[in-house]
Amino acid sequence: MSPFPAHLLSIDDLGTEEISTVLEVADSFVEVGRRANPKVPALRGRTVATLFFEDSTRTRMSFETAAKRMSADVLSFAAGSSSLKKGESLRDTVETIEAIGIDLVIIRHASSGVPARVAEWVDHCSVVNAGDGWHQHPTQALLDLYTVRQAFGGGDAGLARFQGLRVVIVGDIRHSRVARSQIGAYAAMGAEVTLVSPSTLLPPSLEGWSVAAVSHDLDEVLPKADVVSLLRVQSERGSGEFVPSLREYTAGYGLTSRRAALLRPETLILHPGPIVRGVEIASDVAELPGSLITEQVSNGVAVRMAVLFLLLGQGTLEGADRA
């Protein structure tokens, strides 16, 4: 494997080979998670900070659990109670964090590009993007890939199934960092991505996006789908203003019970959560056998452990004998 990058800012930082490595290493962490004591000493003595400028429970808890299960020390930085409130600039905050001796910082921010900017400022600290604006949320895409590979039996055979896999991403593509990461991730593994969205919720241009097709007709696309990945209607980012009403959105783009009947039984259903039942997915559809929403959450910890381990656990002494 080529050296793992120093930071994980975008799914594009990883090639097909690095993504495969993350998924393989995550297998080992899934095994750790099944033990009575799900903790290993791998990152003992390392300090990880979560720097969240935007609300999140599941992503923050998932990252913090991941770091703690590897025995790293975890500092949780709540932007609301920090010196930023006293007028300190982001750059000064980051320099303080680095001066304290933090090894890795996990950042979520409402503005696109903040993690990349922070990565330019730090000298020896790794940066992980936990979601920035409309831009990227790479670990979400990785855990989606892991969950799909697992549903296909895991291992190399599960990985091979991505080749030509028909993946349909439904919802507010325009405001979704999850969609942007998913598209890159699925494309890197050889899947064919179709976007289904009202025109108003598509980005102004899809130039440079690895997308096979765009459709506005979910009923037509669903019977051919191998994987249906739903996006949350992001009221806080203004999804609602781009459609006449939520009810109309559901009528056109929600995975209702009627639409679920169009799916083949083996079709997988994913959703990054938190799900808004009755809007993008009907309550009973979320409970269907093909629905992997719970698996996504539990796999999230193992996949994030793999990412942190690959960022922090790799030294540079090539050729050191391992026997």
Please report, as ranges, the residues that interact with other proteins according to CB under 8 A: 1, 3, 21, 24-25, 27-28, 30-32, 35-37, 40-43, 46, 70, 309, 312-318, 320-323
At its nearest, how many Å lie between other proteins and the CB of residue 264?
A: 31
Q: How far is the CB of 315 from other proteins (least distance, A)?
A: 4
Residue 44 beta carbon to other proteins: minimum distance, rounded to whole angstroms: 9
Distance separating alpha carbons of residues 276 and 287, to the nearest angstrom = 13
DSSP character for 168? E
- Token pair of 28, please? 């080992």
Residue 41 or 265 having the CB closest to other proteins: 41
- Residue closer to other proteins by CB (options 30, 292) is 30
| Residue appearing with tokens 């439904």 | 170
Minimum CB distance to other proteins, residue 139 (Å): 19
Q: Which is nearer to other proteins, 41 or 208 (CB)?
A: 41
Q: Look up residue 2 and give its two tokens.
A: 């080529």
CB 118 within 8 A of CB 49: no
46 vs 232, which CB is nearer to other proteins? Answer: 46
Please, which residue, 245 or 316, has the CB nearer to other proteins?
A: 316
- Closest CB to other proteins among 44 and 91? 44
Rounded to a whole number of angstroms, the CA Rg of the chain reads 20
Beta pairing partners, 293: none
Residues in the chain: 323
Which residue number, 150 or 291, has a Cβ lying nearer to other proteins? Answer: 150
φ/ψ of residue 259, rounded to 5: -70, -35
126 neighbors 167 (Cβ within 8 angstroms): no
For other proteins, the closer CB: 86 or 322: 322
Residue 304's Cβ-count burial label (10 Å; 0-12, 13-18, 19+) is buried
Q: How far is the CB of 169 from other proteins (least distance, A)?
A: 30
- Assigned token pair, 184: 């890159």
Q: Which two tokens stand for residue 150?
A: 């697992």
- Residue 216: burial class (beta carbons within 10 Å; 0-12, 13-18, 19+): middle
- Comparing CB distances to other proteins, the nearer of 116 and 307 is 307
C-alpha–C-alpha distance, residues 275 and 284, integer Å = 12
110 Cβ contact list (under 8 Å, min separation 6): 53, 54, 132, 133
In angstroms, what is the minimal distance from the CB of 31 to other proteins? 4
* In the complex, minimum distance from the CB of residue 124 to other proteins, in angstroms, rounded to a whole number: 12
Measure CA 313 to chain center.
Answer: 21
Q: How far is the CB of 123 from other proteins (least distance, A)?
A: 17
Task: Please report how close the Cβ of residue 183 comes to other proteins at its closest, in angstroms.
Answer: 28
Q: How far from chain centre, in Å, is Cα 289?
A: 22
Q: Tell me how far apart the terminal alpha carbons of the chain are, to the nearest angstrom.
A: 20
